[in-house]
Structure 1
Amino acid sequence: MTSAEQLALLGGAPAIEQPLPHEIWPPPADEAELSELAGQRNTDISIKGNSGPIGRLEADFLAFLDGGARFAVTFNSGTSALLAAYFALGVREGVDVVGPALTYHAALSPVFALRGDVVLADIDPDTRGLDPTALQAALTERTKVITVVHQWGHPCDMDAILRIAERHGLRVLEDCSHAHGSRYKGRPVGTFGDAAVFSLQANKAVYAGEGGILVTSDSQVHDRATLLGHYRDRSRDTVLDEDLRAHWVTGFGLKLRMSPFNAIVARHALAAFPARKEARHRCLRHFGERLGDVTYLEPVHTADHVDMGAWYGYKPLYRPQALGGVPRSVLIEALRAEGMEVGAPSGPRLSTLPLYARPDNPLFPGTPKKGVTPETGSHAEHAEHVEQHALSLPTFTNWPEDTKLIDQYAEAFRKIGRHREALVRYAADPSR
């Protein structure tokens, strides 16, 4: 057997030639972005209301959502924007928020800062987001808010979720941090709920470095969210409710505002997004086609009625039974030896994290949590399955430059399949 035909793990030549890293994000700034940043430095480095680049970013983002929301408010992070959204939607002590069992922790963790409780429900195995049937079963008499996370860019089943919310008089918060540009039946995500939040952190398709933006069409949500993180000029000029506007000098005591430099970066990323989205779609469609005959992978499911938008990560599922029961950790080891940038997704089920699992709220010592989490045993079987079987691969963005690299990735997967028995023997050897 030639070196090229052996697994690299066992001394063969790697299938992938290009050195790591393969996903370099965010892209470098162009001259226009750098020039605007430099100009802002010499014009004004303070934050004054929603003037200048902050106001322009908010207007641009509303246009990005096809005018599907009336208001946009920037924050210094997506987590801060989520905190403001939960506060504005009425989360407080005695309130339950139902959200998905498997997602990034910050989608729900701000609830604890407001003394609310989190109830976890299983995910839909196709959308990877909140499962409507599990959501219905998780509702309590204390439930006031449903948090929908469009996980990895795939929109949730919004028709079913909104029906449940309407039937029970519940508010809906969309976390769109993975889903810039995603659409459900032609409509942008972020325009379905009572409020929506988009993270603009550096790994996102639309990025500010650090930042977040809250959008809503509800003036009360806008006013309360604004006052939580903004004071003086911004609150005086934009809060509509007269009684709430009385707090304009102080807001509600916090300062969670975005820097104008971050707003400039985000505006340039937003302007570049349509071309980058199209390139990602071309790359990942090609990747999916090339992986079609790899029997030990379950391809990423994309429903016909959705647009994946930013495609936040490519996450197929591993079928260990099709590879002789080799553990996922050994498969990842073998793929990395072939030169692949691959791992397991970093976010575990929330019920395994101390912030969610322990009985007391750590922000308020001695305060027991009152929410229930039916996300145990069979109630979270889909979340557990995805957690244990998903692979995390690069979100290729450069088309057609990445075609050769994508083809080499596909060949690495096939090579592993051709040498299934050798990998099974390696996995069974305790001395490896």
Structure 2
Amino acid sequence: MTSTGERLALLGGTPAITRPLPHEIWPPRAEEAELTALAAQRNDDISIRGSSGPVRELEDAFRAFLDDQVRWAVTFNSGTSALFAAYFALGVREDVEVVGPALTYHAALSPVHALRGEVVLADIDPLTRGIDPQALEAAITERTKVVTVVHQWGHPCDMDAVMRIAERHGLRVLEDCSHAHGSRYKGRLCGTFGDAAVFSLQANKAVFAGEGGILVTNDAGVHDRATLLGHYRDRCREEITDAALRDHWVTGFGLKLRMSPFNAIVALHSLAAFPERKEARHSALRYFGERLAEVDYIEPVHVGEDVDMGAWYGYKPLFLPEALPGVTRKQLITALRAEGMEIGAPSGPRLSTLPLYASAESPLFPGTPKHANVAAPGTAAERVEQQALSLPTFNDWPADKELIDAYIEAFQKIGRHRDALAGHARDDG
């Protein structure tokens, strides 16, 4: 499986990794029971009828998945739609500010713009990769009404600090748990801290529907307003708790953002398989992290002593350029790909580098000014953006142990031949 080779593969040597790509195959192939359920649903009912059938089953199962710590679970056709409904339900409107992390996937905060709200970005904690509590507090103004925490790549934020700050300033808290299915902070599940939480069920997630999202809350007002935004007619008539709001049951608030029963079936089966898949992923990535500690130019992913990584969405260690002088991240990735590794740079840039967040004018409402976020240098978000590597989230344990060992050999081979790589980089540059 491995070869030490006298030269780097980039320079004509033998690759350290011989297994063909891709090394991460996700989502897993469907088992017969799932395919049978999908076929039966096709002949039974392809309509979306409120909270019923597989949609109702999924919502009930998801509440159980969260230790029955949430009262309501409402499915949507995507995680972004669920976030949109959550922001609406939490009161985001024109002149309302939402503080969120400077480095995350754009959809965690982009629905705020569609509601004419303002996004204010705060730096991240370099260890948790989530919002830094001190930066959060510094970003709060009299217009701030909501704080969004994203449990980035599965690592929980410092929820004790966030909740203290929110209580002190009277803020609503939205948890984006799109990467954090099953993650725990001090024993408590992510998604059960804030006023509302959203889980993406997109195909790359550990619990997946293909496309889908689910909003959970213990707040009746959040439930009612989020449901009215995307679930008109039967569900609104049956579930809205506020009598005045229930008058809108025929039309809701004008949108249809409901989940298909087919997506609900896929999600039910992936949710049922999650515990076993989680344990395999944890075993593989725990071993990978231990082995990566042997590589002097890589900083393994930090995992806090008081957290459970749950789904482990991706594995993103940091490249330490000072330990590999003369080699850029791009050049390192090229050399490791030549060794047969599946590796890249994370695709999400700092939000302040994207026009939707950096512009002083709203592209959705031309002529309307909005908060313009500045891409500040020297932040933790900049460091992670520029130095993070994206590696497979190994899932097949113990079979993947041999492949992980080959990855470590590839990293170590680069280290042994760092001068040759630096020389090649100079000649190529």
TM-score, normalized by the shorter chain, greater than 0.5: yes
Contact 2:122-2:135 at 8 Å conserved across structures: yes
Secondary structure at the aligned position of 2:174 is classed as: strand
Alpha-carbon distance, 1:401 to partner: 1.1
Q: Which amino acid aligns with 1:367?
A: T
Which residue of structure 2 aligns with residue 228 of structure 1? 229
* Separation (CA, whole Å) in 2 of partners of 1:400 and 1:34: 27
Alpha-carbon distance, 1:372 to partner: 5.8
Secondary structure at the aligned position of 1:235 is classed as: helix
Q: Specify whether residues 185 and 374 from structure 1 end up closer, same or farther in structure 2 by C-alpha distance, changes over 3 A only.
A: farther
Which residue of structure 1 aligns with residue 377 of structure 2? 377
Q: Which amino acid aligns with 1:343?
A: G
**Structure 1 length-normalised TM:** 0.98
Q: How does 1:245-264 map to 2 (within 5 A)?
A: 245-264=246-265
Contact 2:353-2:375 at 8 Å conserved across structures: no
* Separation (CA, whole Å) in 2 of partners of 1:55 and 1:410: 45
Which residue of structure 2 aligns with residue 96 of structure 1? 97
Q: How does 1:179-328 map to 2 (within 5 A)?
A: 179-328=180-329
Secondary structure at the aligned position of 2:16 is classed as: coil
Q: How does 1:347-366 map to 2 (within 5 A)?
A: 347-366=348-367
Among 418, 426, 430, the alignment partner of 2:424 is: 426
Alpha-carbon distance, 1:376 to partner: 2.1
Task: Let me know the Cα RMSD of the aligned residues.
Answer: 1.1
* Separation (CA, whole Å) in 2 of partners of 1:374 and 1:55: 44
The CA deviation string for residues 333-391 of structure 1, in whole angstroms up to 9 with x for no partner, is 0000000000000000000001111111111111110x36466234xx10000000000
**Structure 2 length-normalised TM:** 0.98
Secondary structure at the aligned position of 1:283 is classed as: helix
The runs of 5 or more residues in structure 1 that have no matched partner are none
2:156 corresponds to 1:158:
no
* Separation (CA, whole Å) in 1 of partners of 2:102 and 2:37: 42
Moved more, 231-240 or 328-337: 231-240
Contact 2:72-2:216 at 8 Å conserved across structures: yes
Contact 1:119-1:374 at 8 Å conserved across structures: no
The CA deviation string for residues 48-77 of structure 1, in whole angstroms up to 9 with x for no partner, is 011000000000000000011100000000
Which residue of structure 2 aligns with residue 342 of structure 1? 343
* Separation (CA, whole Å) in 2 of partners of 1:142 and 1:356: 18
Q: Which amino acid aligns with 2:250?
A: V
* Separation (CA, whole Å) in 1 of partners of 2:299 and 2:287: 16
The CA deviation string for residues 115-160 of structure 1, in whole angstroms up to 9 with x for no partner, is 0000000000000000000000001110000000000000000000
Q: Which aligned runs of 4 or more in structure 1 are off by greater than 6 angstroms?
A: none
* Separation (CA, whole Å) in 2 of partners of 1:404 and 1:430: 33
* Separation (CA, whole Å) in 2 of partners of 1:390 and 1:374: 21
Secondary structure at the aligned position of 1:4 is classed as: coil
Alpha-carbon distance, 1:3 to partner: 8.1
Alpha-carbon distance, 1:78 to partner: 0.1
Alpha-carbon distance, 1:111 to partner: 0.1
The CA deviation string for residues 270-323 of structure 1, in whole angstroms up to 9 with x for no partner, is 000000000000000111111121000011100000000000011100001101
Which residue of structure 1 aligns with residue 57 of structure 2? 56
Which residue of structure 2 aligns with residue 109 of structure 1? 110
Percent of matched pairs sharing the same residue = 75
Which residue of structure 1 aligns with residue 66 of structure 2? 65
* Separation (CA, whole Å) in 1 of partners of 2:428 and 2:339: 22
Contact 2:154-2:312 at 8 Å conserved across structures: yes
Alpha-carbon distance, 1:403 to partner: 1.0
* Separation (CA, whole Å) in 1 of partners of 2:424 and 2:375: 36
Contact 2:103-2:124 at 8 Å conserved across structures: yes
Alpha-carbon distance, 1:328 to partner: 0.2
Contact 1:136-1:164 at 8 Å conserved across structures: yes
Which residue of structure 2 aligns with residue 391 of structure 1? 389
Contact 1:73-1:226 at 8 Å conserved across structures: yes
Q: How many residues align?
A: 427
Alpha-carbon distance, 1:47 to partner: 0.4
Q: Which amino acid aligns with 2:100?
A: G
Which residue of structure 1 aligns with residue 405 of structure 2? 407
